[in-house]
């Protein structure tokens, strides 16, 4: 079954046919057309128009956009690569449902916010928590988003066209700059919907083709367990596939993805991603009503069942079909195949696309990957630069003028790109060359404290018998968590996992504590610090509790006047103007909120109105229970 698996990836395995080129051009033209059409549907010169798509989004584009945002080209390559290296256990990352986001919608919507840092600033007061979260978002953008997206997109182009990895990276950046013609959240959501449809169709066709090639699902386990490369490390077993490859629950001690970490640590990471990551949450906040927001997350949860079949199993098939390339362990062979000593599992999915997809469909899959990559990069660049400019630089230099802020925003974008490109070689050699494991391990070091503080902010009873949650506790909990997380991350990069045949001499904190276990421990420690310090301090102000926790939500809809007043106070502090406004040309992005006038207040009214239709509430609840049942069945079947 090996075929041409030893062919070098620095020369294209297949040439582009005319059908491929036509499909790529048509797809990009359609994608841009949908973006422009969506941008014209709402007024992007208002808060609700630009940032929340006019508060007009229905549940189905929200759900599709949530799915597309979480399944970019990086995850296609990362999930398939980790599955090729270790089997189906990585499916647990997909099945940790985004419907856990539903519980946070009510207090967050009622608090009249646009971003998660803004919510925590209002919940705890002061600016230092918001400043910290802004800086943390920049770190996560560089380490887990921009660099991984650039690398995955460049790797795809390298495999398809045989171009140098860094030449492919520059291509990604240039095309992304041209792609920014379609702007606004509405454009992003509708283009994501288009991408979701075509990704599912294309990936399904590839899955059927791959299963036909290997002889069906019943032959997968046998073929995978035999997928050992011809060049091995003598007296070592690292070239052999894992015997527990078809098991979801693995040993808490020796498992590559222990069931204890997948149960507790992964829940911490999933809560951070689905409930606090701005790119994800903003789509839910654009919903017409709370019911549409909940239904969108439920649809995304249904769609998240698909990657097991259309990404993870094809990744395993790719190793079974091409073990010498995808499963290589000899450093010289791996360098020849993919340019990295630690392994080539990341090429599993693009290898399958190039080898098995017929002309036309191959071009379609490549277009989908590149379009998903570029749409995510534009939003990340925009939000990251605006985040630094408006939340950090504007507070460092309060007298900064419009030109200075715009210049800083552009410079920050360039700096982020340069740092991300420089980081790519470190990313390539991290975590045995598995992109998905790299993303999760970095997130495990930085995200758990945010999960702990956010969960406490929403669900801690203001008058609990354990005390009142205090802003100082929240801040120092975040700081302690950050210090410990950075220490662990520094050790991971200073002492990477050894390749096959080299003894593991890493520090015990890295070698003996799995990153998912570390995430659970770090979250627990942060909770202890927050609660402990809160017990020693005075109670917070009433304004830091009202409508900001699960227990203090007012079910009364906001009046137009109060909504406008509240938005002006929270979105635009310290502007020096009585109406709280700032120049409209001072920059727009996901982390800046323009002034709200009383004329716009009716559009924002839904943000405070938490009332729901009993019928749709029941429909959402039934589907949530159904999802839990389906999830339990899948876990039990594959455990």
The domain spanning residue 417 has which CATH number?
A: 1.20.1730.10
* Residue range 282-293, pLDDT digits in tens: 777 777 777 787
Q: If pLDDT is split at 50, 70 and 90, which confidence band does 456 have?
A: confident
For the chain, the domain total comes to 1
| Range in 187-201, 330-344, 472-486, 582-596 the model is least confident about | 582-596
Q: So what's the pLDDT on residue 614?
A: 82
Q: Does the pLDDT at position 424 exceed 50?
A: yes
Q: Is residue 238 part of a domain?
A: no
Q: SS3 of 593, please?
A: coil
Q: So what's the pLDDT on residue 175?
A: 63
118, two tokens: 């803004």
603/599 Cα distance (integer angstroms): 8
Q: Does the pLDDT at position 125 exceed 80?
A: no
For 150-180, give one letter per residue: b (16+ CB within 10 A) or e: bbbbbbbbbbbbbbebeebbebbbebbeebe
DSSP 349-411: HHHHHHHHSPTTHHHHHHHHHHHHHHHHHHHHHHHHHHIIIIIIIHHH-TT--HHHHHHHHHH
Mean pLDDT rounded to a whole number for the chain: 74
Q: If pLDDT is split at 50, 70 and 90, which confidence band does 464 have?
A: low
* Residue range 382-398, pLDDT digits in tens: 667 767 776 778 778 87
321/369 Cα distance (integer angstroms): 22
* Residue range 215-248, pLDDT digits in tens: 988 899 999 999 999 988 887 888 889 889 999 8
174/158 Cα distance (integer angstroms): 16
Q: So what's the pLDDT on residue 335?
A: 86
Q: SS3 of 292, please?
A: helix
pTM reported for the whole predicted model? 0.79
Closest CA to 366 of 515, 199, 131, 502: 199
Q: So what's the pLDDT on residue 570?
A: 40
* Residue range 527-549, pLDDT digits in tens: 999 988 888 776 655 555 555 56
Q: What range does the domain containing 132 cover?
A: 18-219+246-638
More confident residue, 563 or 326: 326
61/287 Cα distance (integer angstroms): 10
Q: How far is CA 551 from CA 42, 284, 471, 541, 622, in A?
A: 35, 22, 18, 16, 24
Q: So what's the pLDDT on residue 300?
A: 86
Q: Which residues make beta-bridge pairs with 247? A: none
Q: Is residue 234 part of a domain?
A: no
Q: Is residue 466 part of a domain?
A: yes
Q: So what's the pLDDT on residue 520?
A: 96
Cα-atom radius of gyration of the chain, to the nearest Å?
24
Q: Is residue 240 part of a domain?
A: no
183/43 Cα distance (integer angstroms): 12
- Find the mean pLDDT for residues 565-592: 38
More confident residue, 403 or 206: 206
Q: Is residue 58 part of a domain?
A: yes
Q: If pLDDT is split at 50, 70 and 90, which confidence band does 46 have?
A: very low
Q: Does the pLDDT at position 2 exceed 50?
A: no
Q: If pLDDT is split at 50, 70 and 90, which confidence band does 605 have?
A: very low
Q: SS3 of 123, please?
A: helix
Q: Does the pLDDT at position 425 exceed 90?
A: no
Q: Does the pLDDT at position 404 exceed 90?
A: no
Q: Is residue 237 part of a domain?
A: no
Share of the chain above pLDDT 90, in %: 16
- Find the mean pLDDT for residues 114-122: 74
* Residue range 515-525, pLDDT digits in tens: 999 999 999 99
Q: Does the pLDDT at position 484 exceed 80?
A: yes
Q: If pLDDT is split at 50, 70 and 90, which confidence band does 324 have?
A: very high
């Amino acid at each position: 079954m090996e075929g041409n698996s030893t062919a070098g990836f620095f020369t294209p395995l297949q040439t582009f046919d005319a059908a491929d080129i036509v499909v790529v051009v048509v797809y990009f033209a359609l994608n841009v057309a949908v973006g422009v059409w969506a941008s014209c549907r709402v007024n992007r010169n208002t808060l609700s128009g630009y940032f929340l798509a006019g508060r007009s989004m229905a549940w189905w584009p929200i759900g599709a956009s949530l799915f597309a945002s979480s399944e970019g080209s990086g995850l296609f390559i990362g999930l398939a690569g980790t599955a090729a290296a270790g089997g189906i256990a990585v499916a647990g990352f997909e099945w940790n449902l985004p419907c856990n986001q539903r519980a946070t919608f009510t207090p967050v919507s009622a608090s009249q916010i646009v971003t998660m840092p803004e919510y925590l600033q209002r919940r705890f007061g002061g600016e230092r928590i918001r400043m910290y979260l802004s800086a943390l978002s920049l770190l996560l953008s560089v380490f887990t988003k921009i660099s991984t997206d650039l690398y995955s997109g460049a790797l795809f182009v390298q495999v398809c066209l045989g171009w140098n990895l860094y030449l492919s990276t520059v291509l990604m950046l240039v095309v992304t700059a041209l792609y920014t013609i379609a702007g606004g959240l509405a454009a992003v959501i509708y283009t994501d919907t288009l991408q979701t449809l075509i990704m599912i169709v294309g990936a399904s066709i590839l899955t059927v083709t791959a299963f036909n090639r290997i002889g069906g699902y019943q032959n997968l386990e046998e073929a995978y367990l035999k997928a050992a490369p011809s060049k091995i490390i003598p007296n070592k077993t690292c070239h052999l596939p894992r015997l527990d490859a078809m098991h979801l629950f693995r040993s808490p001690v020796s498992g590559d993805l222990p069931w204890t970490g997948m149960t507790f640590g992964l829940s911490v990471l999933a809560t951070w991603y689905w409930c606090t990551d701005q790119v994800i949450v903003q789509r839910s906040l654009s919903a017409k009503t709370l019911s549409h927001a909940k239904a969108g997350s439920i649809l995304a949860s249904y769609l998240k069942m698909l990657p097991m079949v259309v990404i993870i199993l094809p990744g395993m098939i790719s190793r079974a079909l091409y073990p010498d390339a995808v499963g290589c362990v000899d450093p010289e062979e791996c360098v020849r195949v993919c340019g990295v000593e630690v392994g080539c599992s990341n090429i599993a999915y693009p290898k399958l696309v190039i080898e098995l997809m017929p002309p036309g469909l191959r071009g379609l899959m490549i277009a989908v990957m590149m379009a998903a990559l570029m749409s995510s990069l534009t939003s990340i660049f925009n939000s990251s630069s605006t985040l630094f400019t408006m939340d950090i630089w504007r507070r460092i230099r309060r007298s900064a003028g419009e030109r200075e802020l715009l210049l800083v925003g552009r410079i920050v974008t360039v700096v982020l790109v340069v740092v991300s490109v420089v980081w790519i070689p470190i990313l390539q050699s991290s975590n045995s060359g598995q992109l998905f494991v790299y993303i999760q391990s970095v997130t495990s070091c930085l995200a758990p404290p945010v999960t702990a503080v956010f969960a406490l902010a929403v669900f801690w009873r203001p008058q609990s018998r354990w005390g009142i949650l205090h802003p100082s506790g929240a801040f120092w909990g975040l700081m302690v968590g950050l210090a410990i997380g950075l220490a662990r991350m520094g050790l991971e990069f200073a002492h990477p996992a050894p390749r096959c045949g080299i003894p593991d001499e890493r520090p015990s904190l890295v070698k003996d504590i799995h990153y998912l276990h570390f995430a659970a421990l770090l979250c627990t420690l942060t909770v202890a610090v927050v609660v402990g310090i809160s017990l020693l301090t005075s109670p917070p102000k009433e304004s830091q509790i009202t409508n900001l926790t699960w227990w203090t939500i007012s079910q009364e809809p906001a009046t137009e006047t109060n909504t406008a007043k509240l938005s002006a106070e929270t979105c635009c502090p310290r502007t020096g103007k009585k109406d709280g406004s700032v120049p409209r040309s001072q920059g727009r992005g996901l982390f800046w909120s323009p002034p709200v006038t009383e004329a716009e207040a009716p559009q924002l009214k839904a943000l405070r109105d938490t009332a729901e239709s009993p019928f749709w509430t029941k429909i959402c609840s039934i589907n949530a229970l159904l999802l839990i049942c389906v999830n339990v069945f899948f876990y039990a079947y594959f455990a």
